[in-house]
Structure 1
Amino acid sequence: MLKRKKRWSELTPGQRKAAVVVGAIEMVLTAIAASDLRQRPADQVRGPKLLWTLALGIQPVGPIAYLVAGRQSD
């Protein structure tokens, strides 16, 4: 039997706080990855920049994958 998703009003204060913190972390990681991708020359990125740009929208895997595997060292 599938459980229905809880509404925001049904979450405990601790669960709400955790959701906000996780969301903020995802936003910061995405901003860092997007900024790095925008500024980094294409020859220092593993794979097409367009593909990585699209991957940044897959939360939280895309930004983490880019920061860990998408960048080549100088």
Structure 2
Amino acid sequence: MAKKRWRDLSERHRRLILVAGAFDGLLKIAALADLKRRPAGEVRGSKAVWATTVVLVNSMGAVPIAYFLVGRRRPPGG
């Protein structure tokens, strides 16, 4: 199967790719902003490792979602 080029994709597929990319970017920005403001004691693991992973791993949203679900601790009393 030959590789498709951007111009070969339908308008619907182009839109879907752009929306998915924007969604992934927004998730990454939200995760990084949360990491920056959250004290280290409220993060499971190293903040530096989470930030590096969020930025460098092309996860289609999986790493930022994992951070929000697993990587954060509840603040004491919260």
Normalising by structure 1, we get a TM-score of 0.89
**Percent identity of the aligned residues?**
38
Separation in 2, partners of 1:20, 1:44 = 33
RMSD of aligned Cα (Å): 1.1
Structure 1 residue 4: Cα displacement: 3.9
Q: Which moved more, 1:9-18 or 1:62-71?
A: 62-71
Task: Provide the aligned length of Structure 1 versus Structure 2.
Answer: 72
Which gives a bigger RCO, structure 1 or 2 (Cα 8 Å, sep 6+)? 2
- Which whole-Å CA distance do the structure 2 matches of 1:49 and 1:11 have between them? 39
Counterparts of 2:67 and 2:50, CA distance in 1: 7
How far, CA to CA, are the matches of 2:62 and 2:2 in structure 1? Answer: 25
| Runs of at least 5 residues in structure 1 that lack an aligned partner in the other structure | none
Hey, what does 1:6 align to over in structure 2?
Answer: 4
Q: After TM superposition, which residue ranges in structure 1, 4 or more long, deviate above 4 angstroms?
A: none
Query: Following the alignment from structure 1 to structure 2, what is the Cα–Cα distance between the partners of residues 61 and 5?
Result: 26
Q: Which amino acid aligns with 2:64?
A: P
Moved more, 16-25 or 60-69: 60-69
State the TM-score, normalizing by the size of structure 2: 0.85
SS in 1 for 2:3: coil
| Paired position in structure 2 for 1:62 | 63
Summarize the alignment of residues 17-56 of structure 1 with structure 2, pairs less than 5 Å apart. 17-56=15-54
Structure 2: which 5+ runs fail to align? none
